Amino acid sequence: MSRDAVAHASKLWPGCRFVAGAIRPDTQLTMTRYDLIVCQEFYPFTRTASVDEHEKWLTFVATNLSEDGIAMIAVTAANYESINATFGELRQKFNVRCIRIAVPKLSRLLPLWLSRAASIPLRVIRPSGVRNVYVLRR
């Protein structure tokens, strides 16, 4: 998400508050809890297979979600230095699940169910053509 995207979204939906910024797991955010947090290929989260690092980030994200909030963390299925490597352990501790979809270029053209179905053979044929979207609820 960019500041330009936030400005554009704010014009389209003036009743919503959009924020973009750099964070770390020890960052103190405002007292606001967020209904939606979107993370895509952020470092070091998506460049490590450290379960401890992933736990820190998931705790941070979950703490900053509203009561009914949802976080979506998207990573390429071909990246094994990411939550892809630690998901088995993390799903035991966090309310997180994985949804596999085809890459955005393809997903825009398909209904969600078909994008998910297309991800099955793509995972084998071309893993970089699949996005794992981790959905975290508080």
Question: Which of helix, strand or coil describes residue 127?
Answer: helix
* pTM (whole model) above 0.85: no
- How many domains does the structure of the chain reveal? 1
Q: Band the pLDDT of 96: cuts 50, 70, 90.
A: very high
Residue type present at position 136: L
In a domain, 60, yes or no: yes
pLDDT, residue 51, reads 95
CATH number at residue 97: 3.40.50.150
Give me the mean pLDDT over the 32-50 stretch: 87
Whether residue 18 is contained in a domain is answered as no
Note down the domain range covering 54.
29-137
Q: Provide φ and ψ at 108, rounded to 5°.
A: -65, -25
Give a yes or no: residue 12 inside a domain: no
Whole-angstrom distance, CA of residue 50 vs CA of residue 39: 18
Condensed to tens digits (0 to 9), the pLDDT of residues 77-93 reads 888 899 999 999 999 89
> DSSP string spanning 32-97?
PPEEEEEEES-TTGGG---HHHHHHHHHHHHHTEEEEEEEEEEEETT--SSHHHHHHHHHHHSSEE
